[in-house]
Structure 1
């Protein structure tokens, strides 16, 4: 049966961008304000992404931020999107998220990725001389499942806090590896189509075809990442999206910086190869007026039959970022777009 947008959960992934002219403290305050707004709009969850050694992203201490956002909200689920497991010992992750689960019962998610989320030098600084192999991530996921599950008789290593909290574990990925592992373990799966959409449909197909039901997740559950820039008109949305375009081109050029202000005519100034690179990176982006957003989200829903859409919304002006979420929520509910939009 075809899903309507009303059947799909809306959520938010926040990299906690530091804006040009702004500070880390500003970025943290904006994220809390955004989370509270998403909660008022009925969003399902608010996730923070782990990145390191990047001047424009303030979400490196992901578990700390999860606690900050959870403490400043009341109902919305809060979690990691994700904790980059190669950077951490599973016991430390289990204790941190076990503590969060005790502080905010029934509201904490643990999304796990297998990339380091940083450069090789920083990766070595995080875990020193640890050498990763293809078997490490599945083994670490299994250890986290044990540590967050009920302690068993004779179990010598127990996470305290952590044991018995059964914090929901999600696997994140942009290739087939995590899709296969999530299916095998019966875990919910989030595809990173907000920055690496190329294998989206193939990964979802693999995940659903091989899914083994579990107590934690009795049926396949798919979340897709969606870059969102919504505004009253297509023209304004394209202008606001120039901040995203500048960020993406910076990533592709290895020149990461703070989130830049919009630039009039930026897209028109690009070379054809730059436009093509942006299109590849942002193939799942929905940018435009309420009608354009409605069409774009419906197309993604039909294409993927996803259970949840998780928006990234890197708009320079924090108030216009909230307005963008307002438009998405109105489109989903079928309500008139707020006059303020």
Structure 2
């Protein structure tokens, strides 16, 4: 299981420069600690999650990092020109010296995205998969002609070419048809923090059923904050979780996107890696037993930059060694304290 950070470019101070600088520092710190991956989310028309230009951000990160793999979590393909996306992701792969992981999605249930990008919600998934088909061909074939319901290309050859062949690709989905599509092409699956473990397990099982012997390489994002005691972890993380839930409910209400059941604070807390060090270790081991994770992506559940970096320190120095050992250390016995 690889470990990474999940970057949503939280912007509590409404200061975009400070937000971008803070997220870059966190990623550089994760790289220094030996984390293997950093994934950047794509959000639009949301000042609290300032990452609409996901490929620009990844291009910048490619220039300031040296070892950590960089992923898109995820490019919302229905809102973009697929030929341009193919050129951009190939460029990022070159700039990063082959460290790019390509994650895609259709976009969540946020009406403003579909409205402003002129994409009907009912067609977004089909359009996304068609765009991905074209992009995949552009990345691996020298010359591509393509005729689909939404996109056409005639004798197109992109440059530069990506360094990786094939470019590692993931789809963020829990839809059976999209899971089968991913399995048949060897693409991985992604799941966001609000996804219940039950949905993640079902998606992994559906993938393996569609492609026996296949590996969904599940990249699972989770809110994370660990401390010596559960109370200390909750004192820091719970206000962050509540603010996130309130913000998401407000977006759903303002956009008429329907109920926001996935954003109940208690449900989010139950789906998060928040608690004492031992609790977090047990939760991760349980998830890995059920899903067989490819990557665990940590979203620090704090608005404090320094505490976010310290909680990554704790993961690297306390939690990860316990995971490698198969669980928390056994409780101390009286004999251990005998002279």
Q: TM-score scaled to structure 1, two decimals?
A: 0.81
Query: What is the CA–CA distance in structure 1 between the aligned matches of 2:304 and 2:290, rounded to whole Å?
Result: 31
2:276 matched to which residue of 1?
Answer: 289
2:150 matched to which residue of 1?
Answer: none
Q: Which one scores higher on RCO, CA 8 angstroms, separation ≥ 6?
A: 1
Counterpart of 1:14 (choices 7, 24, 29) is 7
Counterpart of 1:306 (choices 286, 293, 299) is 293
Query: What is the CA–CA distance in structure 2 between the aligned matches of 1:111 and 1:122, rounded to whole Å?
Result: 18
1:94 matched to which residue of 2?
Answer: 86
Number of matched residues? 308
Deviation of 1:42 (Å):
1.5
Deviation of 1:316 (Å):
0.9
Counterpart of 1:279 (choices 259, 266, 273) is 266
Superposed counterparts of 1:1-341, under 5 Å: 8-19=1-12, 21-115=13-107, 117=108, 119-127=110-118, 132=123, 134-152=125-143, 156-162=155-161, 166=165, 167-192=167-192, 194-197=193-196, 198-211=198-211, 219-241=215-237, 242-254=239-251, 277-330=264-317, 331-334=319-322
RMSD: 3.0
Residues 135, 231 of structure 1: alpha-carbon distance in 2 compared, 3 angstrom cutoff = same
Deviation of 1:219 (Å):
4.0
Q: Which has the larger radius of gyration?
A: 2
Gaps in structure 2 of 5+ consecutive residues: 146-153, 255-259, 329-339
Q: Secondary structure at the match of 2:225?
A: strand
Gaps in structure 1 of 5+ consecutive residues: 1-7, 258-272
Residues 66, 163 of structure 1: alpha-carbon distance in 2 compared, 3 angstrom cutoff = closer
Contact 2:28 2:65 in 1 (8 A): yes
2:333 matched to which residue of 1?
Answer: none
Residues 37, 256 of structure 1: alpha-carbon distance in 2 compared, 3 angstrom cutoff = farther
Deviation of 1:283 (Å):
3.5
| Deviation string, structure 1 residues 9-45 (Cα, Å, up to 9, x no partner) | 11111001002x3511111011111111111121111
Residues 209, 251 of structure 1: alpha-carbon distance in 2 compared, 3 angstrom cutoff = same
Deviation of 1:221 (Å):
1.7
2:335 matched to which residue of 1?
Answer: none
Deviation of 1:168 (Å):
1.9
Query: What is the CA–CA distance in structure 1 between the aligned matches of 2:120 and 2:67, rounded to whole Å?
Result: 41
Query: What is the CA–CA distance in structure 1 between the aligned matches of 2:219 and 2:263, rounded to whole Å?
Result: 26
Query: What is the CA–CA distance in structure 2 between the aligned matches of 1:297 and 1:203, rounded to whole Å?
Result: 18
| Deviation string, structure 1 residues 208-250 (Cα, Å, up to 9, x no partner) | 221278xxxx744222222111223321210111212221132
Residues 165, 301 of structure 1: alpha-carbon distance in 2 compared, 3 angstrom cutoff = closer
Deviation of 1:138 (Å):
2.1
Contact 1:82 1:113 in 2 (8 A): yes
Contact 2:7 2:41 in 1 (8 A): yes
The 10-residue stretch of structure 1 (228-237 or 38-47) with the greater mean CA deviation from structure 2:
228-237
Residues 147, 283 of structure 1: alpha-carbon distance in 2 compared, 3 angstrom cutoff = farther
Deviation of 1:156 (Å):
0.6
Q: Secondary structure at the match of 2:264?
A: helix
Deviation of 1:133 (Å):
5.5
The 10-residue stretch of structure 1 (143-152 or 282-291) with the greater mean CA deviation from structure 2:
282-291
Contact 2:195 2:262 in 1 (8 A): no
Q: Secondary structure at the match of 2:102?
A: strand
